[in-house]
Structure 1
Amino acid sequence: MLALRNWPWFVLSVLIMFAIFGVYLHYQPLVYKVRATLLLKNKVQKNEATNISSIFGGSQINTTNIKSIEDEIGILTSYTLMDRVVKRLGLDIHYYRSVDGIQREIYANSPIRLEVEKGESTLYTNDLIVSFSASNKVLINNRIYPTNQFVNTEYGRLRIIPQRVLSDTVQPITVSFSSRPRIVNAYLARLEVVPVLKQSGLLTISLIEAVPDKGEAILKQLINEYIKEDITYRKQEVSNLLSLIEDRLELIAARKHNDEIPLNNSFDKPEDVLLSEQEVNAQLLDEIEKKLNGLKLIERYAQNKGGKARLDQVALTLSDPVLINQLEEALHLETKQNKGNHGTIQDSALYQQLKYIKYRIYKSLQRIRKQLTQSRNEIIGQNRRTREGIKVKPTKETALVSVLNQPAIRNTLYSYLLQKREEAVMSVLSTTSESRIIDMPRTEVVSSATVNVMVFILLGCSGLVLPILFIGVKNAFNNRITQRTEVEELTHVPILGEISLSQQITVDNLVFRPRIQSVMGEQIRALRTNLQFAGNEPHRNKVILFTSCLSGEGKSLISINLGASLALLGRKTIVLEMDMRRPRLHKGLHLEKRNGVSHYLIGESTVDEIIQPIAGYNNYFIATAGLLPLNPAELLGSERLPKLLHELNKEFDHIVIDSPPIGLVTDSQLIAPFVDITLFVVRHNYTPKHCMKMVNNLHNGNRFPNLNIVLNAVGEGDIRYSNYYDGDYTLSPA
């Protein structure tokens, strides 16, 4: 019902929203999707030998590849990588040109580029209007500055770099600056990296951008930065191995230097000295065995098989600073990993770092075990020689051969490490990325259609919702009766009928005529029917009083047409124009001015003299108000009024009384004791709600017999009776 009564508002609102959508389409820039495809080699394979194992032949170390598709996607969408792209392409500076009155962003077509050495706060709050006058001069907000050099401006220290020959024919542009973090986050929000297939190393990188060439440049630079990061990481991995080889070479070189020291004559020692040396060697062997057992415990930890409880004690007994530092770093990473969020990119990075540290621990264990084994073998050999010396007193030549074997072993190991160092250097110099660009960035389709459909639906829904909200707010602040339900909520007085405002009202206000059908006529018939069953004694409803709260509510229109309806039933009916302050019924019926009710009440006329027939009806009469008295209330309170109604009751079947509004004057209450039924007219969107409180008071006090309500102008907002009582009544506060 709300939509039907206010359908013009809904239509107007929807049309306005469609107009707004048209303006939106005109000013909205097209949005493009830029795509590129990148191949990640060996990023999904497991148990892949790393660069370190390949340097050592791949037989000693075989680790799981520390890279995965999820890790690489995390790197590609990282803040650090996008920050480098924004910085190198200068994406925090935007260039615009007016196209058909709309500022459109330009990128590759910008005639200049700006560089900021130091910016003031005003640089990020004001746009720069740049115009051109000569090849080496530009105007920034109407101030001339040279090009190709840093200059001090009110916005900071800037440099203007021409991208073409400048002249006064070049169209001015607008330059705006944004903070780099905001731009980086904005591009990351529009960046999407997804695998082409679930088990594939192909990645599709897409970016939403309004300027196609700018989007392609961003994706190209992003892929280049990713490849550079990959190469840097792989070089760092090999460089760490190279550093380890260099340390080992320095240790072997120092021992070779000790081998070159001339041998002393220690083969002619006494027997007791040899026995003492053998006891010392036994203690050294016992210590070496303890260290070898400690190495097994650390090796179990490096292989993730436990052994963490006594790790710090064992490491101290080995007295190797490199191993101790590596163990401390591993324990620190484990603690950090346990405190972090599992399953995140940061947790994956910590896992890979811990894995690499354990690999280095494993290599250190091999080095220390080799040293300890070598020392143990040397001591065992020395003990053997001592025992043989005690028994057989070996010659100096035999002992010298045993000593000279050690430098030969060291020379072989030194040559081997030199070879591996060269291989590591060549690996660093020849490192290339394992990623390859399959499809270069390209602009595929305009992707604004989905957005436009969503905006269209949103505006269409708004066009329907806004009138509802407007009507709801209007009703909330409206103190007038607008619906039947409001009357039923505010009063318990029964509603006898509803009358809609008809467009067929004639100059004499008579809608109900013989052989003429109308909506209002049918509603008058329904009111006439309900009138026959109203009250406790419906057969006595001969005298009908019409009143209302205010003027202009249509009681005169309803009263004269209800009288016509009763007359057409063959019942003799008369309408009394009892409004002696501003009578209008006789004017609407085009009756001549003659004696009326007031003349009878003052005793100047008889009943027959004040009655006039209404043209077009056989049984329909009217008694006009007559002369306007100075004291209507006193006149209606005289003894002549009941006598008038008594005489009319003898001659007429129905008496319809059109009285003044009860909310303005008390005339109706003086007539009320002599009537059978009272019809209180309430007009939609006109009668104040507080009048219902007065209706309740009248009903509860039985001031009007058989009080009923008639709703007028249902579903109509026009006020056609606003001038009916203008100037005669004033509304006194209740």
Structure 2
Amino acid sequence: METQRQTSHLSPQASETIDLTKLKTIFRGNWIWMVLILAVINSIAYLTVRYTKNLYESSSEVKLDIKKEATEFGIKSAMEDQSVNLISGEIELIESRLFLSRVLDSSHLNVSYFSVGRVLNDELFNNTPFVVRYVAANESVFNVPIYFEELNEHEFSVHVGDNGKETPGRYNDHLTLSGVDLVFERNPNFAKGDEIGYFFVLNSREYLLDYLLRNLTAEPLNLNANTVRIAFKDNNPFKAHAILNKIDSIYLNYSNEQKNLANKQKIDWVSHELVNIERKMEDYEDYFENFTLQNKTNDLDADLKITVAAINKLDSQRYEISQRIVDAATLMDGLRSDNLFVSLSQRNSLPPSVSKNLEQLENLFLDQEKLKLSYNEVTFAYRQRQKEIETLKEKAYHQLDELKTVWTKRLQEINKKKLRLEHEFVNIPDKSTQFSKNLRFYKLYEQFYLSLMQSKSEFEIAQAGSIPDFKILSPATMPHTPISPNRMMVTAVGFVASIILILFFVGVLYLLNNKITTLQDIERIHNIPVLGVVPSSRHSNGQDLHVKDHPKSMVSEAFRTLRTNLDYFNAHGKKKVIAISSTVSGEGKSFIALNLGGVMALSKKKVILLDLDMRKPKVNLPVKIDDNSKGVSTILIRKNTWQECLASTALSNFDYIPSGPHPPNPSELLLNGEFEDLVNDLKQHYDYIILDTPPVGLVTDGIMAMKRADISIYIFRADYSKKDFITNLNRIVTINKFSNITTLLNALPSTGEQSYGYGYYEEPTRRPWLKKIFSSS
């Protein structure tokens, strides 16, 4: 529990607000991607507008009204009440393939002419360089572009598709192309523009019908006023206007014609049905007359009742005899299996002689069972009794068989008699049934006849009284402005979409960015002081002696500040061993150790730096190492003394001991007493001993070195170290109970608010203007 409380006390507090510094870092690090997103999305919007054909719409308004003057006669109209369904019915008529076929028949849309532009192809309408007339034996070249090239005023060449064979031709002469006979007529009044070629398409009827259906729109404007808006869309405004004009003119005539045709068809159908019904009624009347003459009456119920009673009686007899036959068969089966049992009902249905023999046989079976108790089956008495049973059983079996045969013949006779009665039943009542059925149908036809007569009168009055009155309130308009694409809308949508995508991109990066970006991120750690900040510098490569090469830079001033801050941790001057550690490699631990030692050496202190990362020796350091086979690892196994492993740096008071060869057990080497003896011996010769430890987040060697140190500096690198590393530091402090640890933020961007007062030390340099924009506060 104590450990949990300490961990909770040391854990960083989550920020509930947006980290502006983190957001600014994301903008600064990904501004190229944001500019690219903005450019790509807006380029797509521009290309959409540039390479999308303009779509024009021509519209007209039609008023539909049918006056029903037939109601003045007081007769209810048989036509549908179009006050509710009038508009929907007319819209269906306008958009029907049957009506549009009429439009195609009166229009010249079989051939479409196009000009080939440098960007888009445009359809030419009523102003074409040539006119094509054709007679098609097949439709193999229909709906396929046929390219046309004029050679001179009299000759030209055509080819089907992009890779078709060139076919030469002359104006006003017949040209056969894939089974189609073509005649080209030149238009001398055509003015050529900047187009680079022409082609035409022979349209099939199905394609044209689909084209009209796809681009035609009919919708109600006012249900109470019965007004409909009709619109047609096309990429060519003149074509849209011409087709809609044709639709309006044909619609007025076609609609009236269709309505008159519907009424006429209704009247014709009713008249035809009336004639058929009259004939059927005459046939029924003749039937009734002949029936009365032949039967002298039309009531056969008495004969029907007698016949039904006789049939019922025969059915009862059939059932009784059938039951007797079944009983005889059952008794015969019992005789064969020596399991005879005669029920009372069976005994009553048998003749007395047969019944007596069966009763006697039952008694013999009982006596035989009693003999079995006193005699053996091979005795004379038992065999005598068995012989009597066999004789009587055979006699009874033959009697039952004869009875069964007699009853079977009797049953057949009854069945024949019943069939005869049923035949009479069918003949007698069928006449009455047929008469009733015919009478019922006659009455139904009579009612239907009267109903059709009334309907015919109503249809005729309705046809005479209906006056169609269709008015075009607004003729087809000539479109001047395309309805799509809406350039302003597409451009605005592209810009807004790019902004939204950039914000989404930044938001995702913000949520995915779990790195330490500001000093405040590590200042939230309780009970662990912050030693300072080392800003980033474009002069540093991470392994140079920066304080010597660039003494006036922001980084060098930051290290001087670190040296001063360390004096507060070493007020009595007894803390000589400083351990430099981090969670993972790449956080600048070695750079801090090297330059912190350098800045201490510049203050006339004698400093030595030990590379304890024996698993990964340092390379490219500003230190001259004569023999790589010597170092900390050889010192700890007593192979060399520390004096033999010293390497000099560019500063006179600053020495360096490399890690040496990679040992198989670096952790055990730091645990033995040799390491502690080495540190104690170095304390006698140097003012400060700096330990460059391995990353404590990867191996435990660094923890062992930190336990031997007077002060431990834990390095975090801005925009590199993850916030989870703070948790790792809390865990290390809690488990090892460190009280001499401090933190340092390395490579913090030295711009704006994060410069922390070091800006005046950096030499003025020119930066790209975009970086200035995204890095300014």
TM-score where L is the length of structure 1: 0.53
The answer to whether 1:646 aligns with 2:680 is yes
The answer to whether 1:49 aligns with 2:69 is yes
2-structure distance, mates of 1:612, 1:519: 19
Q: Which deviates more from structure 2 when the two are superposed, residues 681-690 or residues 126-135?
A: 681-690
The answer to whether 1:14 aligns with 2:24 is no
Q: Which amino acid aligns with 2:593?
A: S
CA distances 1:164-220 after superposition (whole Å, capped 9, x unpaired):
3499x9964234578866765665555444556564455443333221111112212
In the other structure, the counterpart of 2:5 is none
Q: Which amino acid aligns with 1:214?
A: K
Structure 2 unaligned blocks of 5 or more: 1-22, 277-437, 751-777
Cα distance change, pair 33–243 in 1 and its aligned pair in 2 (3 A): closer
Q: Which amino acid aligns with 1:483?
A: K
Cα distance change, pair 314–475 in 1 and its aligned pair in 2 (3 A): same
8 Å CA contact 1:132, 1:139 repeated in 2: no
1:453 to 489, 509, 533: 489
The answer to whether 1:574 aligns with 2:599 is no
2-structure distance, mates of 1:525, 1:629: 32
How far the C-alpha of 1:91 sits from its partner, in A, is 5.6
8 Å CA contact 1:525, 1:565 repeated in 2: no
CA distances 1:22-45 after superposition (whole Å, capped 9, x unpaired):
3333322223232223343x35x6
1-structure distance, mates of 2:704, 2:627: 24
The answer to whether 1:104 aligns with 2:122 is yes
2-structure distance, mates of 1:708, 1:106: 82
Cα distance change, pair 77–679 in 1 and its aligned pair in 2 (3 A): farther
1:131 to 149, 152, 160: 149
8 Å CA contact 1:114, 1:158 repeated in 2: no
In the other structure, the counterpart of 1:205 is 230
In the other structure, the counterpart of 1:268 is none
How far the C-alpha of 1:232 sits from its partner, in A, is 1.1
1:606-625 alignment, distance < 5 Å: 614=651, 621-625=653-657
1:609-688 alignment, distance < 5 Å: 614=651, 621-625=653-657, 641-649=675-683, 655-659=689-693, 671=705, 674-676=708-710
Cα distance change, pair 235–175 in 1 and its aligned pair in 2 (3 A): same
8 Å CA contact 1:597, 1:623 repeated in 2: no
Q: Which amino acid aligns with 1:221?
A: K
SS in 2 for 1:109: coil
In the other structure, the counterpart of 1:555 is 589
8 Å CA contact 1:9, 1:467 repeated in 2: no
CA distances 1:621-665 after superposition (whole Å, capped 9, x unpaired):
522237x95578899769665344224546777533234668999
Cα distance change, pair 482–234 in 1 and its aligned pair in 2 (3 A): closer
2-structure distance, mates of 1:458, 1:197: 37
How far the C-alpha of 1:10 sits from its partner, in A, is 0.5
2-structure distance, mates of 1:566, 1:218: 92
The answer to whether 1:220 aligns with 2:245 is yes
8 Å CA contact 2:593, 2:609 repeated in 1: no
Cα distance change, pair 633–102 in 1 and its aligned pair in 2 (3 A): same
Cα distance change, pair 446–322 in 1 and its aligned pair in 2 (3 A): same
1-structure distance, mates of 2:556, 2:452: 101
8 Å CA contact 1:36, 1:441 repeated in 2: yes
8 Å CA contact 2:547, 2:599 repeated in 1: no
1-structure distance, mates of 2:709, 2:456: 114
How far the C-alpha of 1:14 sits from its partner, in A, is 0.3
8 Å CA contact 2:56, 2:484 repeated in 1: yes
CA distances 1:676-703 after superposition (whole Å, capped 9, x unpaired):
4655656578789999999999999969
2-structure distance, mates of 1:582, 1:321: 115
8 Å CA contact 1:585, 1:624 repeated in 2: no
2-structure distance, mates of 1:532, 1:566: 15
In the other structure, the counterpart of 1:404 is none
2:257 to 210, 232, 236: 232
Q: Which amino acid aligns with 2:165?
A: N
8 Å CA contact 1:679, 1:708 repeated in 2: yes
Aligned-pair Cα RMSD in Å: 6.4
2-structure distance, mates of 1:3, 1:313: 97
Q: Which deviates more from structure 2 when the two are superposed, residues 14-23 or residues 197-206?
A: 197-206
2-structure distance, mates of 1:689, 1:84: 76
Q: Which amino acid aligns with 1:216?
A: H
Cα distance change, pair 539–441 in 1 and its aligned pair in 2 (3 A): farther
In the other structure, the counterpart of 1:304 is none
2-structure distance, mates of 1:149, 1:437: 47
Larger radius of gyration: 2
TM-score where L is the length of structure 2: 0.51
8 Å CA contact 1:36, 1:440 repeated in 2: yes
Cα distance change, pair 679–109 in 1 and its aligned pair in 2 (3 A): farther
Structure 1 unaligned blocks of 5 or more: 252-311, 328-357, 367-419, 616-620, 717-734
How far the C-alpha of 1:226 sits from its partner, in A, is 1.5
8 Å CA contact 1:553, 1:686 repeated in 2: yes
Cα distance change, pair 82–701 in 1 and its aligned pair in 2 (3 A): farther
Cα distance change, pair 325–465 in 1 and its aligned pair in 2 (3 A): same
In the other structure, the counterpart of 1:34 is 58
Q: Which amino acid aligns with 2:40?
A: I
1-structure distance, mates of 2:566, 2:157: 93
1-structure distance, mates of 2:442, 2:574: 121
How far the C-alpha of 1:706 sits from its partner, in A, is 7.8
Q: Which amino acid aligns with 1:578?
A: D
Cα distance change, pair 699–443 in 1 and its aligned pair in 2 (3 A): same
How far the C-alpha of 1:6 sits from its partner, in A, is 1.5
2-structure distance, mates of 1:495, 1:689: 17
1:257-276 alignment, distance < 5 Å: none
2-structure distance, mates of 1:202, 1:73: 11
1:163-178 alignment, distance < 5 Å: 164-165=186-187, 172-175=197-200
1-structure distance, mates of 2:701, 2:231: 84
8 Å CA contact 1:660, 1:668 repeated in 2: yes
2-structure distance, mates of 1:138, 1:34: 34
1:360 to 450, 453, 456: 456
Cα distance change, pair 190–517 in 1 and its aligned pair in 2 (3 A): farther
Relative contact order, CA 8 A, sep 6+: which one is greater? 2
Cα distance change, pair 359–145 in 1 and its aligned pair in 2 (3 A): farther
How far the C-alpha of 1:153 sits from its partner, in A, is 5.1
In the other structure, the counterpart of 1:72 is 90
In the other structure, the counterpart of 2:291 is none
**Percent identity over the alignment?**
18
Cα distance change, pair 530–697 in 1 and its aligned pair in 2 (3 A): same
2-structure distance, mates of 1:658, 1:98: 74
8 Å CA contact 1:38, 1:204 repeated in 2: yes
